[in-house]
Structure 1
């Protein structure tokens, strides 16, 4: 095999890998260490909790379906406030971590290993709250999933949708010197499957939700400051100050559009 053909073969294999929905069995333990146990993950949880609190979404006795719930950290927060949690994930490794997390708190959870596309049959009912966090960007056809998510929300219920933000991604790429290809991802991360496949435009997502009969009540950018501030500055002012500023700025235009993630709380019209 020539060098050129070997390169072509590698690229073809990488492309084939990235044209299917991502399963995180191989990264579950790493995610636990490098995302959820870090200031980035903690800031994400703080932002989500503040949004639910600000909108006074009822949790006592609420039925919650966490689709692609991963390790279940945020679902557990809702469960501690009286919500009844059903959780699914395509990764059995992730699901096992979620089960262990709930078991450690002696809180029941209805967990099933299935893909987002299978939720119609595995969880056929409507729920008061549906969570879908950091999932859409890993799907080969993310917009096709929105009607399936919408169908699980009862009239008057809530969809909590967090996704990888196209604008924040492009800004980060520019700041890293990829001025020639800001829409692309780090080639190494892309090949290894660690970079989201489809950063999403929040305006396009909001329009799609509107067409599905939802009204976006909260639009927040997450990690608007954290990811764009130099680490030495974060260390100098302290993580608490970074979090406070990020939580404030994440609700303000135009800064919320630069967040690494966007969180929508959308209510289904009665």
Structure 2
């Protein structure tokens, strides 16, 4: 996972936040909901996993890749953060799964992992890039014809709605000043319609569009506690596939098939 710093124009390394991400994202209901949504999309779209070569670009700690490894896929993962790679190796080792992990950014991926892959993952990376649309041809080039690209990104519409609900009606597209200062707020929420159009131009067909955390993030915590996390998850997984609600998810997941 990486970020472009607007002052230095260099990729931000998340070594200092790796443990925090583990505690505050992946080990929380919202992180578990993210994994459930991804797993459901792969299952619903009948993505063939066993024996396939997977490339996880900016894969961080590799939680979703681990689920694919358990289904028989060979996982290749790169990340700019050495600490993230350490956590990924520890996670795979603890589960008895093999992982090929190398240090580097999205821009380095061709030299790190030459060739094309059956499945390419790019989750929560684009929104940290200074020029995210320039990364899309790189991602496209790594997918075999007929292969899959799993693309998850921070959603502009969900971000705007959340900001308005938090009272920032004067600046719905900006980031929370405190989170911006701390460096763990995505700086470039993305318009899913623009991403879909760009990927179509690159020879991909959109098979699944899901909003993630459409319900969870917009429901008051006291209500979530009253109805229970299982009910919240069921509603989120259902609502995330329906218009117009899927457009309010904090994240969007696109599952795309390469047709050219």
Q: Could you say which TM-score interval applies, normalised by the shorter chain?
A: over 0.9
CA RMSD of aligned residues (A): 0.9
How far apart are residue 192 of structure 1 and its match? Answer: 1.5
For structure 2, the residue ranges without an aligned partner over 5 or more in a row are none
Q: Which residue is 1:16 aligned to?
A: 7
Question: Take 1:15 and 1:191, find their aligned partners in 2: how far apart are those partners?
Answer: 12
Question: Take 2:37 and 2:226, find their aligned partners in 1: how far apart are those partners?
Answer: 22
Q: Which residue is 1:94 aligned to?
A: 84
Q: Is the 8 A contact 1:164 1:200 kept in 2?
A: yes
Q: Is the 8 A contact 1:20 1:139 kept in 2?
A: no
How far apart are residue 15 of structure 1 and its match? Answer: 4.3
Question: Take 1:22 and 1:73, find their aligned partners in 2: how far apart are those partners?
Answer: 21
> Aligned match of 2:108 in 115, 118, 121?
118
Q: Is the 8 A contact 2:6 2:130 kept in 1?
A: no
Count residues with an aligned counterpart.
256
Question: Take 1:189 and 1:136, find their aligned partners in 2: how far apart are those partners?
Answer: 18
Displacement over 4 Å in runs of 4+: none
Deviations 1:62-103 (A, max 9, x none): 100000000000000000000000000000000100000000
Rg (Cα) greater in structure: 1
Q: Is the 8 A contact 1:160 1:264 kept in 2?
A: yes
Please state whether the residue corresponding to 1:219 is helix, strand or coil.
Answer: strand
Question: Take 2:10 and 2:26, find their aligned partners in 1: how far apart are those partners?
Answer: 25
Question: Take 1:56 and 1:22, find their aligned partners in 2: how far apart are those partners?
Answer: 36
Q: Is the 8 A contact 2:55 2:120 kept in 1?
A: yes
Alignment of 1:19-58 (within 5 A): 19-58=9-48
